[in-house]
Amino acid sequence: MSERVVLAYSGGLDTSVAIGWIAEETGAEVVAVAVDVGQGGEDLETIRKRAIACGAVEAVVADARDEYAQQYCLPALQANALYQDRYPLVSALSRPLIVKHLVEAAKYHGATTVSHGCTGKGNDQVRFEVGIGALSPDLKVIAPVRDYAWTREKAIAWAEDRNLPIDVNKRSPYSVDQNVWGRAVETGFLEDIWNGPIEDVYSYTEDPTVARDPEELVITFDKGVPVAIDGETVTVLQAIQELNRRAGAHGVGRIDMVENRLVGIKSREVYEAPGAIALITAHQELENVTLERDLGRFKRQVEQRWTELVYDGLWFSPLKDALDNFVAGTQEHVTGDVRVVLHGGRAVVTGRRSEQSLYDFNLATYDEGDSFDQSLAKGFIQLWGLPSKIAAKRDLKNQWTGA
């Protein structure tokens, strides 16, 4: 059997051209692998047929939407993962799943090499190659766009010369990556960071400035997992899809930011992630009710590191695995309902209830029935501030003696 290369295949121009280019340059057979993570667009069968028509000896297509939601989006939700406190890891989350399917296909088809279509400027090249190295250290990697200066113009010429079944005329002014967790838009006029995004940048969300009535909904969690919306049972995938629709209709989840890329440059990114933002907002609030104070404080530190590891392509790292176990352990009591109002681009929590709540009305109230013994506060304050008070006395003494 000839040498084989497994290609991460999207069905677009660059990866369609890469099938024939890799075959000609290396003499290897190409196995195309397409993974559906809820990006929409063409159906998997159409993509599979195109890969074969472009010269692939095999085309593997996988509907991984439920797997993505359950095994990748859910851990991110439970970690309240927001890179730079804003970006809900739209692209970063899907890459390790795609890597997993690429490595599995390489093993099944006896391939020695994996190929991707990433450039040398982005984070995804790192996510793909570090992930591949972690799961199968002996696999080699080819990156035609990065390693061989493969431009769009070259790709178009290649496709036209070989009459490949690809529409090379229609070109979006933006670079777009999307899946069920959100949508990322960059390049074009957005590269001037003074330019504001215009409405045709967006697809998952409606204009939040357009007047519409607020919408109220209740999200139910069971041990950190969204299990129902307005009392209707949902899977994790269905929860994301439903909130993409309902929160997106109110313009929730639009993010315009300058992002610190792993490769050392800053990049202007426009995101829209209505379902992710609505779910994270509700989940954070339920944790505020059910997590003990110090556990909640420490979890916020873990969340930031977890998010950085995933953004930086270290999904399969030992530290990420260890932090997964910590985050999962914190979800034991994160059960209850959160009421959210969607309006004007925001998801606002207006109510929360839980049988696991640590909120005690009788301790919190200032009215009749107050069970908090306020006489204890004076002694507590004295002991709490004692170390600072002793240090202050020392410092004042040193000032007077010149010590």
For residue 50, indicate whether it is catalytic.
no
**119 marked as part of a ligand binding site:** yes
- Rounded alpha-carbon distances, angstroms, from residue 182 to 76, 113, 233, 327: 13, 30, 22, 22
| pTM score, whole prediction | 0.93
How far apart are the C-alpha atoms of 299 and 59, rounded to whole Å?
42
Domain ranges of the chain: 4-171, 176-291+333-353, 361-396
For residue 63, indicate whether it is catalytic.
no
CA atoms within 13 A on the CB side of 174: 21
176-291+333-353: which CATH number, 3.40.50.1100, 3.90.1260.10, 3.30.110.30, 3.90.110.10? 3.90.1260.10
**68 marked as part of a ligand binding site:** no
For residue 2, indicate whether it is catalytic.
no
For residue 293, indicate whether it is catalytic.
no
How far apart are the C-alpha atoms of 242 and 69, rounded to whole Å?
13
User: Which one from 4, 14, 115, 183 is the annotated catalytic residue?
Assistant: 14
Taking only the tens place, the pLDDT of each residue in 136-182 is 999 999 998 888 777 777 777 777 777 777 766 656 678 889 999 99
**4 marked as part of a ligand binding site:** no
Taking only the tens place, the pLDDT of each residue in 358-399 is 988 787 778 777 787 888 889 999 999 999 999 999 989 888
CATH T-level fold of 4-171: Rossmann fold (3.40.50)
Which range, of 30-34, 173-177, 204-208, averages the lowest pLDDT?
173-177
User: Which one from 172, 175, 203, 371 is the annotated catalytic residue?
Assistant: 175
**386 marked as part of a ligand binding site:** no
Give which of 332, 336, 363, 360 is closest to 349, Cα–Cα: 336
**264 marked as part of a ligand binding site:** no
Give which of 80, 98, 88, 58 is closest to 274, Cα–Cα: 88
Superfamily of the domain at 361-396:
Single helix bin (1.20.5.470)
CB 65 within 8 A of CB 237: yes
What one-letter code names the amino acid at 287? E
User: Which one from 36, 94, 115, 124 is the annotated catalytic residue?
Assistant: 124
Give which of 308, 352, 360, 300 is closest to 330, Cα–Cα: 300
User: Which one from 4, 65, 95, 346 is the annotated catalytic residue?
Assistant: 95
What pLDDT, on a 0 to 100 scale, did the predictor assign at position 85?
96
What pLDDT, on a 0 to 100 scale, did the predictor assign at position 103?
98
CA atoms within 13 A on the CB side of 249: 12
What pLDDT, on a 0 to 100 scale, did the predictor assign at position 32?
96
**89 marked as part of a ligand binding site:** no
